[in-house]
Amino acid sequence: MFRLVAQRLLALVPLLFIVSVLAFSFTSLLPSDPVDLILGDTGTQEQHEMLRERMGLNEPLVVRYFQWLGKAVQGDLGTSFFNSVSVTDAVLLRLPVTLSLTAISALIAIVVGIAAGVAAALHPRSWIDRLATVGATFGQAVPNFWFGLILVAVFAVNLRWFPATGFTPISVSPWDWLRSVTLPSLALGLSSSAAIARQVRSAMVGVLQQDYIRAARAQGLSSRRVILRHALTNAMVPVVAVLSFQITVLLGGALIVEQVFAINGLGTLAIAAVRQQDIPMLQGLVLVMVGLVVLVQLATDLLYGLLNPKARPT
């Protein structure tokens, strides 16, 4: 297991490196001059020059990149141009919000997706099979933020079961936290659950025809055990292979769904950073998000190895 982790981690280093180059060089293409952004029209020519020198903007791009990377590796993502807060602090403050949405919606997507997929595979052409198919078709067409609006209209405005807006940190009140993330997570997670259900279904239909399933039945193992242990473990292999992609999609969706529920997460931060041309903030956000995606990828890789012994290094 250790070798597997090490191997995967090593494979991710070049990816992170390239992303950091991209994040740095692309955001350095921003049309506005950071010095102008900070000082505005005020300040003398000399003051502008001094600030330029102090921010290291006169150095070549490559030097600036390595300076930035050196600090980033130590957890210092620089200082916002807009309000001189530390980017690391700003991102860390919002991270739990977006993570909550992504994690709960992923949980919904996976649990509902597997349950519906297995049920659909066991009962082809039943109502649950049709629902999974129709759900997946609609799930690809319904914008998650619109679905969020509808959920607000029904469950927050009319039924008042959930708050329409805002986010309560889990440290303040776990119950209120759950209530505040339920609707946005449903808005995000349900369409992914239909996609996962379709994948589970087709994998499961294939696995159920395998010899080892018949052999397990021939050995007198209960249907429940054969389906949930012998078949599902194998059916999950192709599903897990695309799970990290699904979670990346959820993370991106969370940025937008946050806006529906007026939740102050990474999405809000990113939108503000675009409007304010806040280069360090955007760089930091990209890096943190890729970091999250990489962690998810690592986790699904490990899960893949766990489910599929053939994929383990020998």
Partner 1 sequence: MTTTSQNEPNTGPRRINFRPSASTAIVAAAGSVLVLLVFLAIFADWIAPYDPLRQNLIKAMQGPSAAHWLGTDDLGRDVLSRLIFGCRIAVLAAAEATSIAVLLGVPLGLFIGYRGGWWDWVVMRVVEAVVSIPGIMVAIVIIAILGAGLHRAMIALGILFSTSFLRLARGVVLAEREEVYVRSARVIGASDRRILLRHIFPNIAPPLVVQVTLTVGAVLLAEAGLSFIGLGVQPPDASWGTMLNSAAAYMDLNWFLAVPPGIAIILTVLSVNLLGDVIRDSIGRGVAVGVDPGKPAERFVPAIAATGAESPAPPPLADEVLRVEGLQVLVSGRDGHEVPVITDLSFGISRGETLGLVGESGSGKTITGLSILGLIGAGGRTTHGSIVLNGRDLRRLTPKQLEEVRGNEVAMVFQDPTTSLNPAFTVGSQIAEVLRTKQGLSGKQAWSRVVELIDRVGIPRPEERARAYPHELSGGMAQRIAIARALSCNPSLLIADEPTTALDVTVQQEILDLFRDLQGEFGMAILFVTHDLAVAADISDRISVMYAGEMVEMAEVDALFARPRHPYTRGLLSAMPHASSRNPPLPTIRGNVPRPGSWPSGCRFSNRCDFATAACERPIPLVGTDRLVRCIRAPELELKAAS
Q: Which residues, 237 to 256, sit near partner 1 by CB under 8 A?
A: 237, 248-249, 251-253, 255-256
Q: Find the Cα–Cα–Cα–Cα dihedral 173, 160, 267, 247, rounded to 10°.
A: 80
Q: Are 210 and 129 in contact (CB under 8 A)?
A: no
What is the nearest approach in angstroms of partner 1 to the Cβ of residue 271?
6
The helix/strand/coil state of 86 is strand
Q: Is 38 in the site for partner 1 (CB under 8 A)?
A: no
H or E segment to which residue 265 belongs: none
C-beta closer to partner 1: residue 75 or 220: 220
Q: Which residues, 86 to 115, sit near partner 1 by CB under 8 A?
A: none
Span of 47-55, 83-91, 156-164, 173-181 interacting with partner 1 by CB under 8 A: 156-164
Q: Is 61 in the site for partner 1 (CB under 8 A)?
A: no
Residues 6+ apart with CB under 8 A from 23: 282, 283, 286, 287, 290
Residue 222: CA count within 13 A, CB half-sphere:
3
For residues 248 and 102, what is the distance between their CA atoms, to the nearest angstrom?
Answer: 9
Chosen residue from 34, 79, 290, 300 binding partner 1 by CB under 8 A: 290
Span of 39-47, 64-72, 83-91, 233-241 interacting with partner 1 by CB under 8 A: 233-241
What is the nearest approach in angstroms of partner 1 to the Cβ of residue 114?
16
What binding mask, one character per residue, do residues 258-277 give for partner 1 by CB under 8 A, x or -? -xx------x--xx-xx--x
Chosen residue from 18, 61, 62, 63 binding partner 1 by CB under 8 A: 18
H or E segment to which residue 306 belongs: helix 279-307
Chosen residue from 48, 52, 64, 217 binding partner 1 by CB under 8 A: 217
C-beta closer to partner 1: residue 50 or 274: 274
Span of 42-50, 52-60, 168-176, 301-309 interacting with partner 1 by CB under 8 A: 301-309
179, two tokens = 């209530």
Q: List the beta bridge partners of residue 86.
A: 79
For residues 92 and 287, what is the distance between their CA atoms, to the nearest angstrom?
Answer: 13
Q: Which residues, 41 to 60, sit near partner 1 by CB under 8 A?
A: none
